[in-house]
């Protein structure tokens, strides 16, 4: 049974599998980089970032020796910036602990920052050809349908069940192709909304298809309301230079640079808020001028409307918790900014 499933998927994969940049090489470092980028991020989005990253940091040694700011700049726009910070930190650890070789064991891999059970399974199987299961969004969906699992797959006992199923399916022979095939099947046939069951090689085994419930699986968690904030920021000019500040290394958008500002308080106008935030955060005074841009931006767990004002520096030396810089507009390209701030920068030109 399991062997039949594996055989069918592998046969399908040989004909219909995707040709992706990281499948053309066997360098474990490249596989690792691709797997980190692919966490919660679609293949099409990752491809150009992967190419640029590998050109900038061809080896784990290059990555470990690069300044974090350079790594974040290459990562800029990809999101989930802790991935970049963890990748950089793990590269240093791999030089020290593993003499520059990406580990080939699950335990050694999961002890590195940014590598969990699924990414470790992917690296071990894809880079080293060892038998290990994976469980990403694609595989979870395929398994929920194949075995008609009608419980929310985010529940711990259901996750445990899914890991067991994934482990039971992965064959000793060519686990590398099998895991990639399972993901490809989820991405191209067993899609979230409208799976192409007639074209699926697992149709004869799929319990959800037999019951006609494939479109209602997997069960999804109830969506939660996301708040909407108004934020005011200042593009503070002193001559031909503007002030930027760096966010703390941990937390949201950690390590990225931005125009200073903050959330509006109840009953406050954006112009009042930006003056207050700059006074509080930087201990300087500015005069607030024209509106530079209004940006709407969606994060995963909240939305913001960003009001950006041209400001003129008046008085005081900045005293901030975090680093700040006065830079020319041209120099803004050298720093990593959140996407919402990039929209403001685009509007300045």
Partner DNA sequence: AATGCGGGGTT
Partner DNA sequence: AACCCAGCATT
Minimum Å gap between C-beta 110 and DNA is 7
Cβ-contact 149, 143 below 8 angstroms: yes
Q: What is the 3-state secondary structure (H, E, C) of 168-221?
A: HHCCCCCHHHHHHHHHHHHHHCCCCCCCCHHHCCCCCCCHHHHHCCHHHCCCCC
- Could you list the residues that contact DNA (CB under 7 A)? 18, 20, 22-23, 34-35, 38-45, 77-82, 86, 110, 112-120, 122, 136-138, 140-141, 155-157, 180, 183-184, 186-187, 192-193, 220, 223-224, 226, 251-254, 297-301, 338-340
Question: 35 catalytic, yes or no?
Answer: yes
DSSP assignment of 82-137: HHHHHHHHHHHHHHHHHTTPPP-SHHHHHTSTT--HHHHHHIIIIIH--------H
Q: Which is nearer to DNA, 65 or 229 (CB)?
A: 229
Minimum Å gap between C-beta 62 and DNA is 22
Q: How far apart are CA 95 and CA 91, in angstroms?
A: 6
Minimum Å gap between C-beta 285 and DNA is 30
Minimum Å gap between C-beta 63 and DNA is 17
Q: Which is nearer to DNA, 203 or 343 (CB)?
A: 343
| Lookup: tokens for 192 | 């979230």
Q: Which is nearer to DNA, 178 or 313 (CB)?
A: 178
16, 35, 51, 258: the catalytic one is 35
Between CA 262 and CA 274, with CA 268 as vertex, the angle to 5 degrees is 35
Q: Which is nearer to DNA, 166 or 288 (CB)?
A: 166
Q: Which is nearer to DNA, 99 or 300 (CB)?
A: 300
Minimum Å gap between C-beta 239 and DNA is 29
Residues classed as catalytic: 35
């Amino acid at each position: 049974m399991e062997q039949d499933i594996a055989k069918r998927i592998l046969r399908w994969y040989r004909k219909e599998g995707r040709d992706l940049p990281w499948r053309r090489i066997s360098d474990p470092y490249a596989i690792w980089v691709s797997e980190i980028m692919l966490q919660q991020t679609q293949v099409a989005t990752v491809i150009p970032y992967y190419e640029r990253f590998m050109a900038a940091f061809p080896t784990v040694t290059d990555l470990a020796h690069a300044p974090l700011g350079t790594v974040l700049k290459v990562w800029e726009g990809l999101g989930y910036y802790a991935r970049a910070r963890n990748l950089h930190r793990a590269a240093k650890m791999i030089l020290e602990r593993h003499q520059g070789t990406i580990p080939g064991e699950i335990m050694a891999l999961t002890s590195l920052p940014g590598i969990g059970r699924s990414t470790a399974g992917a690296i071990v199987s894809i880079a080293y050809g060892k038998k290990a299961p994976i469980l990403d969004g694609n595989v979870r969906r395929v398994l929920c349908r194949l075995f008609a699992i009608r419980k929310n797959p985010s529940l711990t006992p259901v996750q445990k069940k899914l890991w067991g199923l994934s482990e039971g399916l992965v064959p000793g022979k060519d686990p590398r192709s099998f895991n990639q095939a399972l993901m490809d099947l989820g991405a191209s046939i067993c899609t979230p909304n409208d799976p192409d069951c007639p074209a699926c090689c697992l149709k004869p085994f799929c319990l959800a298809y037999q019951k006609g419930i494939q479109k209602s699986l997997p069960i999804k968690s109830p969506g939660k309301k996301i708040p909407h904030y108004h934020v005011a920021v200042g593009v503070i000019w002193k001559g031909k230079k503007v002030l930027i500040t760096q966010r703390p290394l941990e937390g949201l958008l950690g390590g990225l640079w931005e125009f200073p500002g903050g959330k509006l308080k109840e009953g406050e106008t954006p112009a009042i808020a930006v003056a207050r935030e700059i006074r509080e955060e930087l201990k300087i005074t500015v005069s607030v001028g024209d509106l530079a841009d209004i940006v709407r931006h969606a994060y995963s767990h909240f939305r913001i409307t960003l009001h950006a004002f041209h400001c003129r520096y008046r008085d005081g030396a900045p005293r901030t918790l975090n680093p700040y810089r006065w830079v020319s507009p041209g120099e803004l390209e050298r720093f990593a900014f959140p996407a919402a701030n990039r929209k403001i920068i685009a509007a300045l030109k």
